Amino acid sequence: MINIIIQKLKEQRNGVIYYATGLFAYTWLMIGLFPSMQSFDIDAYLKQMPEEFVKFFGGAEGLQYSKIEGFLSMEYLSIFFVVIITFYLASSAGSVIAGGIEKRTIDFDLSQPISRTKYALSQFVVTLKYSAALVIFNILAMYLLCLAYDIDIKISGLLAFGLTAILFMWALTGIAAFLSSVMKSRISVVLITVVIAFGSYVFLSLCNIIDKLADFKFISLYNLYNPQKLLESGHVEIKDVVILFAIFSIGTIASLIIFNKKDI
């Protein structure tokens, strides 16, 4: 099992470097733009826009665009950051079962002296490690770039955001793992996982602007992931991270049960 993990870490290393480079470039762009945006009274401009429009595009109640926490939340962390890492984790988790069936390599892999559970778990571990590494790398980049541009940002906020973001990505990994066990195409797993992530964002945005939907916010995964609140407060909501971990656990366990019973 350890050998499989090491092998998969090496196989995915270059791809993860490309993802990390893209995230770093976008982080640099956003933080580099912030001082010039701060000099413009963007908050007054946003107040003139329809409240529903601002809320739909990530403007939570009390958003202050002139603060780095509000700016990064609305322009980067709410959707772009999530979608990029979701593409990686969905592709990685989707290749474990669905991808192996699609490429017809899984028969050879399962002929090795290792159980199906260990085979799948060893590859899911790689996805978890690299998705967490991408979040941690992004947190370090945000901190160092804020230092370079003399922008104040709370370390406690970055830590709270980092922990919640990792578990948010792991919850999506659990969903992708489950989809991988019931589908026969890696691309389908990637597309559906990304749609779930983006759809959760859109649904929560609609709940924020449509009163009749307000009571259904709990359905959205994004209800458990609020970058602005985490960065500003530096406080982790225990209930949220427990639910995210439960989603990850249920998805992963379900995928292993289905995989062990699946006729390849």
What span, in angstroms and rounded, lies between the C-alpha atoms of 223 and 204? 7
- pLDDT higher than 70, residue 55: no
Specify the pLDDT at position 47. Answer: 59
Over 60: is that where the pLDDT of 212 sits? yes
The whole-number pLDDT of residue 44 equals 59
What are the C-alpha distances in Å from 156 to residues 30, 161, 197, 231? 21, 9, 26, 8
Comparing 199 with 48, which gets the higher pLDDT? Answer: 199
Report the mean per-residue pLDDT for the chain: 87
Out of 39-48, 61-70, 254-263, the most confident range is 254-263
Number of Cβ atoms within 10 Å of the Cβ of 252: 23
Q: Which pair of structure tokens corresponds to residue 209? A: 């602007």
* Domain containing residue 116: 2-261
- What's the pLDDT at 98? 85
Q: Choose the weakest-confidence range: 10-14, 183-187, 190-194, 207-211.
A: 207-211
Residue 22 pLDDT greater than 70, yes or no: yes
| pLDDT at residue 214 in the model | 82
More reliable by pLDDT, 63 or 230 = 230
Tokens, residue 27: 């982080």
Measured between alpha carbons, how far is residue 79 from residues 7, 52, 71, 183, 261 in Å?
A: 31, 18, 13, 26, 36
Number of domains in the chain: 1
DSSP characters for 214-229? Answer: GGGGGGSGGGG--HHH
Percentage with pLDDT > 90 across the chain:
56
| Stretch 84-110: mean pLDDT | 84
